Every structure is written in C-alpha cells, then in structure tokens.
Structure 1
C-alpha cells in the first residue's frame, strides 16, 4: 500500500463512519473541515519517526473509529482539545484538559459558571477546611514556580451558587497512573505531566457532575476519552459545598469579585481564591 492509498483508506473510512452515525454528530458539525484537520494531524504524526513506526503497525481501517469519537463530542484534534495516541498497536482516543472543560460546560445539567483544575507545587499555599459545615478552599501559588508537583485540585462552580471540588496528592495521581492508566508511559505523561495531573483530578470530579449527553455514541466516546476509568461509587476526597449567596439569594460571581479586589484573601463559604 502506497502512502497515498494509506491516507485514502483513512479518509474514506472516516467519511463512511461519520455518514453512518450522522445523528450522533453535534449541531453545526462541519464534516469536511473535521476530516481535513484529522488528516493534517495524522500527517504531522508521521513526521515523528517513533509515531510513524507505531502508526505503520496499526490497521488503517481501524483509525477512523478513533477519530470519529472526537466528532461525536464536537472536539477538534487540530485545536488540541483531544489526541489520537498510537500505543500498544492501537490508536487511542484521549481528551485533553481543554476538551474536558469544554464538555463539562456543554453537557452539565446544572449550568456551570466556571470550572478549572490547578497543580499544587512545593512552596505553594493550599488549604481545605470545613468550618461550621461550610467548606473553604485557599490557594496561593508561588509565582512562576517550577518546584516539584505535590498534588492537584479541581473546582466547579454552578450558576445556582453550588460548588464541588476534589483534591488528589501526587502519590494518589501516580498510583492511578500506574494502576489504571491505559497508557502510563505515553508521551502525554512524560512531556505534559502537569496537564495530565490536572486532567486526572478533573476527570474524577466530573464523575460527580451530572452530564447529559445527547446520544449513546457521545457517552461512549467520553468514557473512552479518559486516560483512566474512575468508579463513580468510590470517590474518596471528593467534596461539595455552597458558594456564598448575597441577601437577594442570587449567586455571587466570586471570580469577578476576586479579580476586582486584586489581593489574596481567604475563600469564604465556598468561594474560590486564586492568586496569580
């Protein structure tokens, strides 16, 4: 099979896959642009000798199955919202941290005001506490620090004022990586460790968020996109709380208030503090 035939097999297979499952595609999906972006990403991967050797061992007819999962979720490989990772003789679909954020905001039943994850490094100030039944999180990172990562946390604030958060130590994350990861030695873990730390704790938090996908193909693609699979019934450390409400009972935009103050203060009643 020539190089042109190889690319042609992928393009034809992807077109067929998307056409067969067009009802699973999100509204406004641009099939032509998506296919073009996928081929461009594959071409870039072929420029890397290691990835090229791995791709050549994969049956090109199976590659569209991986690529189509991004289409169902409305994610773009070209924009770095997800990745196609050659590993163990297969091409695996994996969402990126940015993709996780996008999906949570799009499919959460409880509308999200903000959601993010942060890495905690040696020397950063991080504290979580429960005071009088109210949960507080305080985080003040050391500016421009490149110290050792000691953990990560993720927070979601909903428009109704409620919030949830989850924390994981570096030991917890590394244990998950070594025990449950689909590709613990992949390039993502080696070269983008911080992003994988954030994605791991965010993915665990997402198990507590009620996501309502439009169809079963999206649900399956989302589950396949995780580097690890968390059991929703066993989530040690995951916590929920209520964000501060003013007298009119409307949710406070905690992030806007904090940016306006431009100073480090303790988080109150579930508000989140992040000092740049």
Structure 2
C-alpha cells in the first residue's frame, strides 16, 4: 500500500508539471508517458525523491527532459540531498551512458570508448599515435585484484572510425575536478564516484571535437556539482557570439539576493577589456569615473527596453540574428534558475562587444537589457513573458526574418 501511495504522489507531481516538461520531451523525439513511467520506477527505488521540494524537482526534471534523457540510473539519475537548512532538494545528473547516447544521436560521433583504468590493468598509450591506445582489463578479476583506480580515458571516433580525439586523465586530475566542486561529498560523488570520473574525462575530451549541436553542448556542460551560491567558483562559459568555450574562467558566485540591474552601455563595454598593451588596465580616477557616470543613463528594472530603430546591413544579418537569438534565449532557458540565468547573462554582456558592428551595438544592448528586465520580473514573481514576446517580435521585424529561435514560453 505504501508503494502505491508513493507512485500516486509521483504521478500527481509529474501531471502538475506536464505543461512545462512535455514540450521539452517532444522536442527531443520522446514521449511524456515514457518519462513519467521511468520517473515512477525511480521513485519506487528511492522514495526520498518525493521529499524534495516541488520547485527543485520541476527544475531538475526539466533539465533531464531538455537533454533528451530519462532518469533510469543508466542514462541519468535524480538524486535527493539535504541543503544546509535541512531541506531536501533534487539534483539531476546525466550519466556517461546518456551522454554517449545523445552524442552519437546528435553530435556526429560514431563511437565513444570511455573507461577508468585500475592499477593492475594493462594500459598503453602513445601520445604521438592516438590509434595506439590499448586497455586490457581483467574483467573476471575482483576489484581488489585489479587494484585502485589510477586514471581514465575517452576515445572519440567519427563515422569512418577514425580517432577524432583521445583524452587521458590521471587520478590526480580526477581529484582536482572533485576538489574544484563546491559539493565534493554530494551524492553524485559519494554514490557514483567511478561514474563521475568517467564523466570528467568524457566532458573534457568532448571540448576538443567539433560539436555544432546546441543540445549536445548544453548536455556536456552540465555542472557536475551542486551549486554553492556563497563562494566564488570556477565555471565553464561559452562566448554566445563565437561559440568559444572559455574553459575554467573564474566567475563570481550568484547571489540569491536581487542585485542591481545590468547597466552595460556601448561606451562601458569598451572599458571591459582587462588587459591593454600586456598590462592590467588601471582604474580611472574617482573624478573621471564620477563624470563618466553622470553622462550615462543606467537601465532601471522598471523601464521596459525597446528595440532600437536602426538599419541592418545585409552582410551582418546572419551574425546579428544568431547573436540576438542567443542573448534573448537566456531569458527562456527553464533548465536553470533565474539566478543562474543572471550569471550567464553577465558573461554574455562581457563578451558581446568585440564581435558586433558599431552601428548594431544598440540592438544587442537592448537585448541584454530585455533579458535582465525579464529575470528581475521573474524573481519578483511578476509576469514578463508577454512583454518579452513583443520584444522578440519587434526584433524579428527589424532583422527581417520569419522567426527567432529563443525557446518556449512556459
């Protein structure tokens, strides 16, 4: 009887968030019913999942659906954990099997070999010849006989079975990844350590192969650790205008407190370059900074941004459409919280200026302001999607395109 109550509770929870999750599932060619049935089995196996807050379950299940995976402990897993306040929260983790599955489906990769290496395994790797890697473990030996894990590797092959990239990591590398996590003793690391090692080498290696699929990039860039909002953390960032992975770029932690609105202007963006002539740029004098501040009109969160009236040159159209889409899509990314979206937006604001023609900078600035405005409204519990949709429509008309890919409104 208790199992039936657990199943009924889980089914009700999924039905309550169906409107949010189903479009994500359908977009990946799957069905909501399959996701639901797999989640019900996961709840039966681990009833603590239902102790998690509905908000965290909504967020983590949405991530899983957006990645095209199911939480069956093979493709992905939903892990319950307690935060510092004793509240149960859900943590979604894509598994190695799920990542490989999606990369083969969408990423143009024919096969991926990814494994850990034990001390007594036969392992040979010639860095000058990526085809020469040889790993011969004794699968019938006990864990004790194979010895401790000393490292791991991932080999990516294309449809002609040629090696695209080989990544090798030592145990010291794995420990460095774990120590960089703000939750080194989280369920992901304590329950699935071998899986986390494999995923570490898989994710690092995936950065060196050509991936032009947004879904795959989003999947492999999922953070392995639970977020800690109180300390600075090292994060992987992607320049939204070039696709360049800014690996291990230090990022400020994201505060749960509502912070001031972004006030980036075209003139301020020019001052965001931290290095000049090989030397750090010194801060302006207080007098000059004060005069500069008085000349600029900061964006207020209660002022609804508008699309500027500018003419778009035909040779810049494709690049500007991509930039507008990637910035505006930040507001509609339901796989991360509003606070996390603010962090992504700040990174975008820092990197857009060098890649946009001077005359078009007011357009990208307006897009950044619109996303910031939307985030503030969402945090305040106020409606924003209708105004965001109007802005998207106006931007679409300005750019002369039939549609802008900025996500779904939920």
* TM-score normalised by L of structure 2: 0.47
SS at match of 1:78: coil
Deviation of the 1:12 alpha carbon: 2.8
Unaligned runs of 5+ in 2: 227-234, 238-244, 249-410
Partner of 2:45: 44
Larger fraction in helix: 2
Partner of 2:13: 10
Q: Contact 1:14–1:67 (CA<8 Å) still a contact in 2?
A: no
SS at match of 1:40: helix
Deviation of the 1:226 alpha carbon: 4.0
User: Aligned equivalents of 2:187 and 2:110: distance in 1?
Assistant: 32
Partner of 1:91: 90
User: Aligned equivalents of 1:130 and 1:219: distance in 2?
Assistant: 26
Partner of 2:27: 25
Partner of 1:205: 205
User: Aligned equivalents of 1:78 and 1:104: distance in 2?
Assistant: 18
User: Aligned equivalents of 1:151 and 1:223: distance in 2?
Assistant: 21
Q: Does 1:123 align with 2:126?
A: no
Deviation of the 1:8 alpha carbon: 5.7
Deviation of the 1:62 alpha carbon: 3.4
Deviation of the 1:139 alpha carbon: 2.5
Partner of 2:169: 168
User: Aligned equivalents of 2:115 and 2:12: distance in 1?
Assistant: 41
Pick closer, same or farther for the CA change 1:156–1:227 going to 2, 3 Å: farther
Deviation of the 1:227 alpha carbon: 4.5
Larger fraction in strand: 1
Larger radius of gyration: 2
Query: RMSD value over aligned CA atoms?
Result: 3.1
- Which one of 128, 134, 141 corresponds to residue 138 of structure 1? 134
SS at match of 2:41: helix
User: Aligned equivalents of 1:91 and 1:97: distance in 2?
Assistant: 19
SS at match of 1:70: helix
* TM-score normalised by L of structure 1: 0.67
Q: Does 1:179 align with 2:175?
A: no
Deviations 1:37-86, CA, capped at 9 Å, x for gaps: 2133123311xxxx36xx52x32243122112222222121262101112
Q: Contact 2:125–2:133 (CA<8 Å) still a contact in 1?
A: yes
Deviation of the 1:123 alpha carbon: 1.9
- Which one of 216, 223, 235 corresponds to residue 221 of structure 2? 223
Deviations 1:86-112, CA, capped at 9 Å, x for gaps: 23342111101111111211121xx32
Deviation of the 1:189 alpha carbon: 2.6
Unaligned runs of 5+ in 1: 236-276
